[in-house]
Amino acid sequence: MLFSSLPLIQPILKAVDKKGYTTPSPIQEAAIPVIVDGKNVLGRAETGTGKTAAFSLPIIQSLSKLGNKRHPSALVLAPTRELVEQIKDSFVSYGSFTQLKVLAVYGGVSDRPQKQKLAKGIDILVATPGRLLDLINQKAVMLKFISHFVIDEADRMFDMGFIVDVTKIMNMLPKNKQTLMFSATLDREVMALADEHIGTYDVVDVANEKVDLEHITQQLFYVSKRKKIDLLKLHIKEGPAVQTLIFTRTKRGADQLSKLLSEMHLKVAVIHGDKSQHQRLRALQGFKSHKYEFLIATDVAARGLDIPALPRIINYDVPEQADAYIHRMGRTGRAGLSGDVYTYCSKEERLLLKPIFKELESPLSSTTHPFEEIVEAKKIQARPFAKKTGRHRYRLSGRKR
Ligand code: AMP
């Protein structure tokens, strides 16, 4: 994908080109269209993934249409002075073909020059929480006109004890604004902060897509829709007793399966879009603490949750998108541990396999399976996908590994 395929205006594409970027990074590809669309976003991304451009390009685009303002229209909070400086520099270079004014404020230095610049009028303010509160108390900055608000490295805000200040600032902001929150992890605290302050938001999560296929064994089972449950029972009964994450395509499917497994006296939890954030986190915690042996999830619900490394994933339904397959698979085989991914495929679902095989660059190999009695099955042993895995291990030189 090229930057020009993203919904970005010429001055921004020009600046990106000047920086020498050729292709957007995964977080940019995923987040930019959603942010340009005006949605609130909770993004999981670590430093080095290109997240700064992911939020700053759409903000520059939106503000450049409005023209300069006396008071800041965009506020970015970051936990450290270095990060604040880096973010400011990014805004300056990505906005080099616009007239927008950017200012960085942080503690540990005199506030006078910062106040002077604020008095002259700025569009984008990048700040550490403590210094920003100082400046607000001195009436050197007004937040009444903020239309775009970003919290970068939200997890570190918690770790560094800044969250009280961050919350104070959030409570001063206008209700009507776009909020973007980025964090390397989406743990309980971060999700709770988002739930309390953002309202509705989209989760953009690319952090887990580093899939180490060397340690993953993938098996595909052709099985009629009706007999999937028999195959699952067999896998549960005959396979090793390991914690298993089961994916279904629909919420209803997840509930039905959960009921069936509960009837088998298995300890099972379920997460899907109709469950509250609180219920999802409780299910996840129970799963993490081994209170539950099985977690049944839909893709949407699993996104944004920090699901631990698991020995077994079962795709009870074939995912509709190849990316979802990779994403599901990324829940296993981590940190050198081995993992199994079983995919149950009914006749109706066969068409969905094509893009997955294309993504994996792996053909089907011959049949061997222990379940002939029940199903007609085929087994694929994936080749080491060094090349294709590269798509998910993005190096920010603009090239793919
Ligand atoms: P960040 O994760 O935002 O701190 O960005 C990490 C580094 O990647 C910065 O030096 C950026 O200039 C660079 N970068 C951001 N986006 C891209 C891209 N699409 N292609 C190449 N480099 C990029």
**In this predicted model, what pLDDT tens digit does every residue of 187-244 receive, in sequence order?**
788 988 998 899 889 888 875 455 667 778 888 888 889 889 999 998 898 777 788 9
In the structure, what pLDDT confidence band is assigned to residue 333 with cuts at 50, 70 and 90?
Answer: low
Q: Which of 105-109, 194-198, 257-261, 376-380 has the lowest mean pLDDT?
A: 376-380
- Over 70: is that where the pLDDT of 283 sits? yes
**In this predicted model, what pLDDT tens digit does every residue of 123-134 receive, in sequence order?**
999 999 999 999
Q: What is the atom index within ligand 1 of the atom nearest the CA of 28?
A: 19
**Per-residue pLDDT, 85:** 94
**Per-residue pLDDT, 221:** 87
**In this predicted model, what pLDDT tens digit does every residue of 10-67 receive, in sequence order?**
999 999 999 988 888 888 999 999 999 999 999 988 777 789 999 999 999 999 987 6
In the structure, what pLDDT confidence band is assigned to residue 259 with cuts at 50, 70 and 90?
Answer: very high
At residue 390, φ and ψ (nearest 5 deg) are -55, -30
Mean pLDDT rounded to a whole number for the chain: 83
Listing DSSP states for 362-385 in one string gives --------TTTTT-------PPP-
Pairwise CA distance, residues 359 & 122, whole Å: 46
Q: What is the atom index within ligand 1 of the atom nearest the CA of 52?
A: 3
Atom 11 of ligand 1: nearest residue by CA position = 50
Structural domains in the chain plus CATH codes: 3-205 (3.40.50.300), 216-396 (3.40.50.300)
Structure tokens at 251: 């919420």
**Per-residue pLDDT, 383:** 34
pTM beyond cutoff 0.85: no
Q: Rounded to the nearest whole angstrom, what is the distance from the C-alpha of residue 28 to the centroid of ligand 1?
A: 10
Q: What is the atom index within ligand 1 of the atom nearest the CA of 86?
A: 4
**Per-residue pLDDT, 296:** 95
**Per-residue pLDDT, 308:** 66
For ligand 1, is residue 25 a contact (CB within 6 Å)?
Answer: yes
Burial 299-309 (b: 16+ CB within 10 A, else e): bebbbbbbbee
**Per-residue pLDDT, 206:** 74
Pairwise CA distance, residues 190 & 182, whole Å: 9
Pairwise CA distance, residues 250 & 272, whole Å: 8
**In this predicted model, what pLDDT tens digit does every residue of 347-385 receive, in sequence order?**
899 889 888 887 776 543 323 333 333 333 333 333 333
275-289, 297-311, 312-326 — most confident range? 312-326
Q: Identify the sign of the CA torsion 389, 392, 394, 398.
A: positive
For ligand 1, is residue 21 a contact (CB within 6 Å)?
Answer: yes
Atom 6 of ligand 1: nearest residue by CA position = 48
